[in-house]
Amino acid sequence: MAALGNNVKMAFLKGLEALGKGASNMATNAHQKLNEINLETRRRELLSEIPVRALDLWQQGEPMPQPLGDMLSELSALDEQLTVLRAQRYARVETEAQESAEAVTESESVPEEEDALPDAAAGMDGSDWENEVEEAGEALDVPDADGEDEEDTRPDLRPVEPDPIDEGETGGNA
| pLDDT digits 0-9 by tens, 7-17 | 999 999 999 99
Q: Looking at the chain, list the stretches that DSSP marks H as alpha helix, in order from N- to C-terminal side.
A: 2-59, 66-107, 112-115, 119-122, 126-141
**Spatial CB neighbours of 136, under 8 Å, sequence gap ≥ 6:** 154, 155, 157
Q: Which residue has the higher pLDDT, 35 or 170?
A: 35
CA distance 77 to 65: 18
Per-residue pLDDT band for 5 (boundaries 50, 70, 90) equals confident
For residues 75-93, average pLDDT: 88
Nearest to 135 by CA among 149, 121, 154: 154
**Spatial CB neighbours of 163, under 8 Å, sequence gap ≥ 6:** none
Chain segment 102-156, per-residue pLDDT in tens: 877 776 655 555 444 455 444 445 555 556 656 655 555 555 545 555 566 776 6
The rounded mean pLDDT for the chain is 76
